[in-house]
Structure 1
């Protein structure tokens, strides 16, 4: 009897857990679906594009396609005249690891003027990058540049922070390459929904 009750509790726990994951994922996507764009022709202009950082290379030394495609998207956005400046935001945890500096160098190689690039070296996560765009750089209107699944979460955060944000989707990475990242995204969405809801209750 006790064993049966134990399994019921375990089943209930996982049912609630996966329901929460599904709900948060749906809520984030549904709320932001009209605010993400994959076409340069369709996306409205904005003074600044916020490029969300990631590592330039994978642990095995290969080039990170998430990084490469975000840089290409940001460059296309600038050269199409959709933004006047790019804010590159990411982590700088050591002498040899500097996401914003890597992004800046890559953008310059694609013809972006150095004086058109701003760097945020304390964008340790998506929430920090969005929050600091307004708090530190005074931006209340931005185009976020990342893959679609990441843009949706970033824009969801921006909405809660009073920032007018739309997203320009970088090229998607093949699922066989990106499945770990996309699975983590499901958990990240649940985490940020709970975190933002908790903060709103404490305000």
Structure 2
């Protein structure tokens, strides 16, 4: 009887730790960050990379899938709230998948001075291949995550893009992707540093793929 009791209690715990969410069209999307290390984290032989080296690996990781072809670059439009480092810091808009290929980060470890915060990845250029691609964007706040699907995003050679959100009173925020120029009077972590020139994607409802809770 004792063995039977332990078995029935342990099953829900295991399932919860490995849970995924299913979208309305039946596709499964892993609940960030509760997915396997292989799919979530960048793995390299050198365990003593500096922050700059980790960011470089993050930036160039998609060459594994697309080779060293012509590239464009994408990052999040910064906000003041991204510059904090506490439980109230939101997860910025980030490319979660491109053409079903995951975008990975490094796993942080305790007391490691070279840990990279999620906001630092988001505010760093990610190299993406030129041409049309399907993206899944993730963002979050607290234990909520929103997955937004954007199809047929056309990236042009050597251009730089930001992901941002349009917020109108009484309406839900909507994602845009835009080309920009820079204003060097402001720091790169200040939104005024980026002058929006042309929105190539706009009016995409946040969480159109799935909204999930992560515990």
Q: Same fold (TM over 0.5)?
A: no
Higher relative contact order, chain-length normalized (CA < 8 Å, sep 6+): 1
TM-score grouping bracket, smaller chain normalisation: 0.3 to 0.5
Q: Which has more helix, going by share of residues?
A: 1
TM-score (norm 2): 0.31
Q: Which has more strand, going by share of residues?
A: 2
TM-score (norm 1): 0.32
